[in-house]
Amino acid sequence: MKKALVVLTILLSLFAGVAIASANSGSAIIPHYQAYVNEQFRYYTWVYLSNITDQDINVEVILYKRDGTILFDTDNNISGYYLSNYNENLPNATLSFTLGPNSFGKFGISSYDHHDIATTAGYGIIKWEQDSKAVHGLVAQAIGFLVLKSNPVHPQLSIPINNGLPF
C-alpha cells in the first residue's frame, strides 16, 4: 500500500511538473485568410497580435494554402510591421518574429498575381513561446480588407481568432 502511494505521489508530481513547464506557450487557429486581386480591386487579410505580458514573446505562424501545403513567402506576398526578429525563411513555417512586452504587431497576406481570382486562401496556426510562466500571452484578430482602385480601403470581414480571448 505504501509503495502504491509513493508511486502515485511521484506520478502526480511528474504530471504537475509537465503542466507547469508547458504554461509558457500557447497556440490558436486563424480560421480563414484570403487574398486576391483583379483589375478593379485588391483583397487582403491582416492579422493583428498583442503581447499581453511584460516580457518579449516569440511567435511562429504557419499558414496553410487551400491544398493543405504550407504557404511560403516566395514572392513577397507577406509583410510584417512592428515586429522584431522578423523571419520568412523557415523550413516548416511561414514566418516567425518577436513581439516586445505589452506591444502590438501585425502581418498582412496579399496577392499580386493578376491571373488567378483566389490566388491565396486557407487557414493558419499561431504559436507562441516565452521564458516565463505566463498562461496566456497573445490576443489576436484578423480583418479582411477590400481596396478599390478608385476608392480608399474598406474593412470587409472580421475574422475572430480564439473568440477574441487570450491564448
Buried b (16+ CB within 10 A) or exposed e, 90-107: eeebbbbbbbeeebebbb
What does the CA dihedral 129, 97, 77, 49 come to, rounded to 10 degrees?
Answer: 70
What is the pTM (predicted TM-score) of this model? 0.80
pLDDT at position 149: 77
Domains in the chain, please, with CATH? 25-164 (2.60.290.11)
pLDDT at position 112: 62
Count CB-CB contacts under 10 A for residue 167: 20
Q: Which three cell numbers stand for residue 139?
A: 490576443
In this predicted model, what pLDDT tens digit does every residue of 27-79 receive, in sequence order? 999 999 998 887 788 889 999 999 999 999 999 999 999 899 999 887 667 88
